[in-house]
């Protein structure tokens, strides 16, 4: 039930979390022209000392994080407006007499079943008992793998990580990938670090394990013993996991193996029979992190079956806990939201149910959303921006002094073969196989999970559908997908302060323009640069050029390693290298594209600021964000994105037009000598 992207999914997601701002329908005119938040500017801060605080300081000093959140800022303000629109859609669908089988009926009835807290509360954990009884009947490793396959058929992942994606070396065909899995903590390092912050998370996780066992009938002593069994087994699994930094290497994550060879090397897993049980029809697959599966094969052979049954019982309950009665929901919240992110209070039920609907029938909900709240004018304006940024990027490639003409030619070919997706898909997902009963939430989710699993496995070995999207339309995010060589901008991110169809060019190019440039640059970051124009993991560089590129990457790593986040905690420059490279390129490409516009060539002031100054202020204000310490610590440990403040400061420190716009001089804290400024793209 807990659907998360695998760590090795090489889609460079841009994690803004910015959501809907505009509330006008397609037939209504926008209310007012959007502009800078002048009240947030702190003129007591010198722009060249800390531009993030100059642009946002007055807001930052007074901003509070609500108890139901782990952050505040532009993201949350936009989230609330989008969710208000979504709530209206859900309530209308659930209260209407929609035709049976229609997407409105499925969305409305799923919302109704999720909101039926009285029925869910009375059932406690009754819905999951048949699965628990299945675990009780397990007698050997073969039974374990059959149970795991059965749970995967409902999209409940246990010990095996599986996803279907274009083959990295044959991007026109879908391929099945198996990646490292099995842990309950955010990543492997949590099992081996001994700092107080990490130990506090580990303690909360262990308490969570104990609590789930108690809620299903065990006493405290027995639950504590079972917790030790689960945690010990996970720690052994974690020892075989690659680190988050190691997972950034797509070449090392490509390990194609035949089913017969895998079966011989890992006979206890029994790949041949296991894939049959999974309904996976293939003669080969990508064993992305072989070390984990070698270890899993060993553990299945050496760990007592009784211990495995304890492990499976907990992880099954963990997967479904948020869909059970309130005691389970609260236990889930205490660990995932409170301990990991510092959130103090659980969100309202409707908002949690909305998240479930988006995860399970999101394109159906997205279809209703864009029909009502997304303007076609906005889509056209974004497409214009994308095209202008391509031109600006091409010009920057032509001017590079470190790249040969041969590599420049191939880089521009890749740039102009980008598949550009804006707003929403050209064709919508079919959810006809899902059965929704407004009185049976758990079974509804099982039906959704089965539909999603069948949809995924049926793609294996078949041609890639270039029209498929990896995000739902209301999602406030964007991504670059290297195997599709595509940049994708859902409707949810195409709103103020990132974008407004009525806003001036300085606002839009500083906001969404930077996002577009960021995603384009992902095609040429440390990971994306390893894929050719067709999306294949293939070397297309002149050797000397690639060595220069890697050397510049080391400069990026060194710079971000120097940034302190909390106390002695630093940004991990190597983990965040790709996103940082995209930020550096994104602001430069967006600015160059802005200078191609009429306003970009002008010097007229608005609210006392030149067009260039407004461009940079728009950029900084769109990144306005404040987060809890717990959330920040987890971000640094696991997230390939740097904290927002450094996503503003570092690109500007290395961009000369910013120096000119705000008269940044030597002695200012952000000043970097011109010959030391990092310029990759």
- DSSP secondary structure letter of residue 642: P
Q: What is the pLDDT of residues 631-662, one digit of tens each?
A: 999 999 999 999 999 999 999 999 999 999 99
Q: What is the pLDDT of residues 141-195, one digit of tens each?
A: 999 999 999 999 999 999 999 999 999 999 999 999 999 999 999 999 999 999 9
pLDDT(17) > 80: no
Mean pLDDT across 289-308 = 98
| Alpha carbons 36 and 243: distance in angstroms, whole number | 41
| Residue 232 to residues 182, 192, 235, 417, Cα–Cα distance (Å) | 12, 12, 5, 49
Residue indicated by tokens 């640069």: 529
Q: How many CB atoms lie within 10 A of CB 260?
A: 12
The mean pLDDT value of the chain amounts to: 94
pLDDT(395) > 70: yes
DSSP assignment of 491-535, as one string?
GGGSSTTT--TTS-HHHHIIIIIHHHHHHHHHTTSTTGGGB-TTS
pLDDT band at 32 (very low <50, low <70, confident <90, very high): low
| Alpha carbons 464 and 173: distance in angstroms, whole number | 5
Q: What is the pLDDT of residues 195-230, one digit of tens each?
A: 999 999 999 999 999 999 999 999 999 999 999 999
**What pLDDT is attached to residue 377?**
87
Q: Is the peptide bond before 497 cis (omega within 30 degrees of 0)?
A: yes
| Alpha carbons 251 and 333: distance in angstroms, whole number | 37
- DSSP secondary structure letter of residue 463: B
| Contact of 217 with 126, CB cutoff 8 Å | no
Q: What is the pLDDT of residues 267-290, one digit of tens each?
A: 999 999 999 999 999 999 999 999
Give the pTM.
Answer: 0.93
**What pLDDT is attached to residue 15?**
38
| Contact of 363 with 473, CB cutoff 8 Å | yes
Contacts of the segment 154-160: beta carbons below 8 A, 24+ positions apart = 154/446, 154/449, 154/450, 154/453, 155/1, 155/3, 155/448, 155/449, 155/450, 155/452, 155/453, 156/1, 156/316, 156/319, 156/320, 156/449, 157/181, 157/319, 158/312, 158/315, 158/316, 158/319, 159/296, 159/315
| Alpha carbons 580 and 137: distance in angstroms, whole number | 50
Rounded to the nearest angstrom, the gap between the alpha carbon of residue 338 and the centroid of all alpha carbons in its chain is 20
């Amino acid at each position: 039930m807990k659907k998360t992207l695998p760590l090795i999914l090489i889609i460079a997601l841009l994690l803004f979390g910015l959501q809907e701002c505009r509330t006008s329908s397609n037939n209504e005119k926008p209310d007012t022209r959007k502009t800078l938040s002048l009240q947030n500017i702190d003129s007591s801060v010198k722009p060249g000392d800390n531009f993030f605080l100059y642009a946002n300081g007055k807001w930052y000093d007074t901003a509070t994080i609500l108890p139901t959140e782990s952050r505040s800022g532009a993201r949350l303000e936009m989230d609330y407006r989008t969710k208000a629109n979504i709530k209206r859609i859900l309530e209308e669908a659930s209260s209407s007499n929609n035709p049976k089988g229609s997407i409105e009926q499925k969305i409305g009835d799923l919302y109704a079943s999720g909101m039926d807290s009285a029925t869910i509360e009375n059932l406690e954990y009754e819905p999951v008992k048949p699965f628990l009884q299945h675990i009780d009947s397990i007698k050997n490793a073969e039974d374990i793998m059959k149970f795991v396959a059965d749970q995967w058929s409902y999209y409940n992942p246990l010990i095996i990580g599986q996803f279907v994606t274009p083959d990295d070396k044959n991007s026109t065909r879908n391929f099945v990938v198996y990646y490292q899995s099995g842990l309950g903590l955010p990543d492997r390092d949590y099992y081996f670090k001994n700092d107080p912050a990490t130990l506090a998370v580990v303690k909360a996780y262990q308490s969570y394990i104990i609590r789930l066992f108690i809620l299903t009938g065990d006493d405290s002593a027995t639950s504590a013993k079972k917790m030790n069994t689960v945690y010990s087994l996970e720690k052994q699994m974690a020892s075989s996991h690659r680190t988050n930094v190691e997972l950034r290497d797509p070449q090392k994550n490509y390990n194609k193996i035949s089913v017969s060879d895998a079966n011989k090397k890992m006979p206890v897993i029994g790949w041949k029979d296991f894939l049959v049980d999974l309904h996976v029809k293939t003669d080969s697959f990508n064993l992305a992190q072989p070390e984990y599966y070698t270890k899993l094969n060993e553990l299945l052979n050496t760990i007592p079956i009784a211990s495995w049954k304890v492990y499976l019982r907990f992880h099954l309950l963990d997967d479904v806990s948020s869909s059970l009665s309130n005691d389970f929901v609260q236990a889930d919240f205490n660990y995932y939201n409170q301990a990991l992110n510092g959130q103090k209070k659980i969100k309202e039920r409707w908002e949690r149910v909305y998240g479930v609907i988006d995860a399970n029938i999101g394109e159906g909900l997205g279809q209703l959303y864009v029909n009502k709240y997304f303007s076609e004018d906005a889509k056209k304006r974004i497409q214009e921006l994308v095209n202008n940024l391509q031109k600006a990027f091409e010009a920057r490639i032509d001017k590079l002094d470190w790249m040969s003409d041969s590599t420049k030619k191939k880089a521009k070919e890749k740039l102009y073969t980008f598949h550009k997706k804006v707003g929403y898909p050209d064709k919508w997902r079919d959810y006809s196989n899902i059965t929704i009963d407004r009185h049976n939430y758990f079974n509804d989710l099982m039906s959704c999970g089965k539909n999603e699993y069948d949809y995924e496995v049926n793609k294996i070995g078949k041609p890639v559908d270039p029209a498929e999207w990896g995000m739902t339309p209301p999602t406030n995010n964007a991504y670059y997908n290297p195997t599709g060589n595509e940049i994708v901008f859902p409707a949810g991110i195409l709103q103020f302060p990132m974008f407004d169809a009525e806003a001036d060019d300085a606002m839009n190019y500083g906001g969404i323009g930077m996002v577009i440039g960021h995603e384009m640059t992902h095609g040429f970051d440390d990971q994306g640069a390893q894929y050719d124009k067709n999306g294949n993991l293939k070397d297309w560089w002149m050797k000397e050029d690639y060595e220069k590129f890697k050397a510049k990457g080391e400069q990026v790593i060194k710079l971000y390693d120097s940034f302190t986040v909390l106390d002695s905690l630093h940004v991990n420059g190597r983990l965040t290298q790709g996103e940082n490279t995209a930020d550096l390129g994104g602001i430069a490409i967006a600015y160059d594209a802005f200078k191609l516009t009429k306003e970009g060539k002008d010097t007229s002031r608005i609210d006392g600021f030149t067009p260039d100054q407004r461009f940079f202020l728009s950029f900084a204000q769109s990144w306005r964000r404040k987060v809890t310490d717990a959330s920040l610590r987890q971000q640094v440990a696991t997230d390939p994105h740097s904290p927002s403040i450094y996503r503003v400061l570092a690109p500007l420190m290395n961009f000369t037009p910013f120096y000119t716009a705000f008269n940044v001089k030597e002695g200012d804290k952000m000043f970097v000598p011109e010959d030391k400024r990092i310029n990759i793209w």
